[in-house]
A = this chain, B = another copy of it.
Amino acid sequence: MNETKPKRRDFTSLWDRPGFLIRRLHQIHVALFLEECSEFNITPLQFAVLTVLYDRETLDQVTIANQIGADRNTVADVIRRLERRGLLERPASVVDKRAKLARITDEGHAFVEAVQPKMIDAQRQLTVPLDREEYEVLMKLMRKLILENYDASRAPMRPGVLQADG
């Protein structure tokens, strides 16, 4: 084979910058998700919130933010929109007067079930180019980077959550 350059990590071209590729992948995923779910008018983050509330638990905003690895304020916005659509309720906590809880409604529950197959289509379409082994390798490496850069983002997921879901 022709031995090309040793190829150390140089980052000169945009296509040699992991951050650049990750940004593009993120754009593409969001675009695919929105396209597949266009009939439901739902976003990836909104669906993630509904996913953690699907089993009818009643959680506060911070817990939800930690479980989906999102910013506290962003989650507050998302919850506001989902409540406006009647997919969530927001009961006040009786034990902690600061906390404003969130719980899925029956409508929200049915909504998740309706959207689920489309969400899966979006995930599948993004990754169809990969065979089984490539897929597993990619997922493994991405999980590794997320766990090792655990405290980089302002919305780090808690160890408990990692163990529960990972």
Chain A residues within 8 Å of B, Cβ to Cβ: 7, 9, 11, 13-33, 35, 44-45, 48, 51-52, 67-69, 119-120, 122-130, 134-139, 141-146, 148-149, 152-155, 157, 165-166
Closest to A140 in B: B134
Q: Main SS of chain A's interface residues?
A: helix
Kindly list chain B residues whose C-beta atoms are within 8 Å of the C-beta of A149.
Answer: 28, 32, 125-126, 129
Kindly list chain B residues whose C-beta atoms are within 8 Å of the C-beta of A31.
Answer: 152-154
Closest to A25 in B: B22
Bound-state Cα–Cα, A25 to B152, Å: 10
Kindly list chain B residues whose C-beta atoms are within 8 Å of the C-beta of A44.
Answer: 19-20, 23
Kindly list chain B residues whose C-beta atoms are within 8 Å of the C-beta of A69.
Answer: 23-24, 27
Kindly list chain B residues whose C-beta atoms are within 8 Å of the C-beta of A68.
Answer: 14, 20
Q: Given A19-B33, A68-B14, A138-B18: A153 and B24 within 8 A (CB)?
A: yes
Task: Choose among B27, B32, B130, B154 the residue that contacts A155 (Cβ–Cβ < 8 A).
Answer: B27
| A22, A32, A35, A67: residue with the most chain B Cβ atoms closer than 10 Å | A22
Q: Is the CB of B153 within 8 A of A19?
A: no
Q: Is the CB of B26 within 8 A of A146?
A: no
Q: Is the CB of B139 within 8 A of A21?
A: yes
